[in-house]
Chain A
Amino acid sequence: DTGVSQNPRHKITKRGQNVTFRCDPISEHNRLYWYRQTLGQGPEFLTYFQNEAQLEKSRLLSDRFSAERPKGSFSTLEIQRTEQGDSAMYLCASSFGGPSVSEQYFGPGTRLTVT
């Protein structure tokens, strides 16, 4: 068990470009979450998957954001036409979930800077 991994760790992009982040959860975990965190704030929920099904999306997730989890394993988060306001730390977490939420384990995050 190597924990939750995220790639890349850092991404600098120009406004208007598309970016894609990857998250590899703990292998036996069926739930995967994406959050966004800006300086001095707690993480803000974006979306979560149970296996390959995307069960919930925040209103923060505009049409420019899309997330996938093919085959219920790794997940990708894509941001199209990036804006400076997208600059943040993007965090992924996973858990083994039943009817209620169990302990979430976080990855190291991907820091996005949009210039």
Chain B
Amino acid sequence: KQEVTQIPAALSVPEGENLVLNCSFTDSAIYNLQWFRQDPGKGLTSLLLIQSSQREQTSGRLNASLDKSSGRSTLYIAASQPGDSATYLCAPYGQNFVFGPGTRLSVLP
């Protein structure tokens, strides 16, 4: 059964910092991995989808990497802004649809 962990659970940084969010999963037999952000009380917004054959995917200030064999993905956020404050979740898609618990990010002005 797939298990997903995200470290750190919470993070508070001053505006402008570059930061890295980590996602680990136990079953490396995945098709792809998706990163989301979730604002309080809202649904999930898709950020990036990395195919299992890819190593990286970029969208604006976001860069996600995937190392399937070691069961890890990282989300890199460059030049963080207060509007980036949200919970970030990862979801490795394989035989099961399992989401990580999320990293709660606060970017202070």
* A residues neighboring B (CB under 8 Å): 4, 33, 35, 40-45, 48, 91, 93, 100-109, 111
Contact = CB atoms under 8 A, between A and B. Distances in A.
Nearest to A40: B101
B43 interface: yes
The A contact surface, by secondary structure, is loop
Contact of B42 (A4, A41, A103, A109): A109
Interface of B: 4, 31-32, 34, 36, 41-46, 49, 89, 91, 93, 96-102
A33 B4 CA distance: 19
- The 10 lowest CB-CB distance pairs between A and B, nearest first, are A42-B99, A100-B31, A101-B93, A45-B97, A106-B43, A106-B44, A103-B49, A108-B43, A109-B43, A43-B99
Given A42-B102, A45-B96, A102-B49, 15 more contacts: A41-B101, A42-B101, A45-B97, A91-B43, A91-B44, A100-B31, A100-B32, A101-B93, A103-B49, A106-B44, A106-B45, A108-B43, A109-B42, A109-B43, A111-B41
Contact of A45 (B31, B36, B41, B98): B98
Contacts of A106: 36, 43-46
A70 to B, nearest CB: 23
B43 A48 contact: no
A103 B50 CA distance: 9
A106 B43 CA distance: 6
10 contacts: A35-B97, A45-B96, A91-B43, A93-B44, A100-B32, A104-B91, A106-B43, A106-B46, A109-B42, A111-B41
A35 B89 CA distance: 14
Contact of B100 (A33, A42, A45): A42
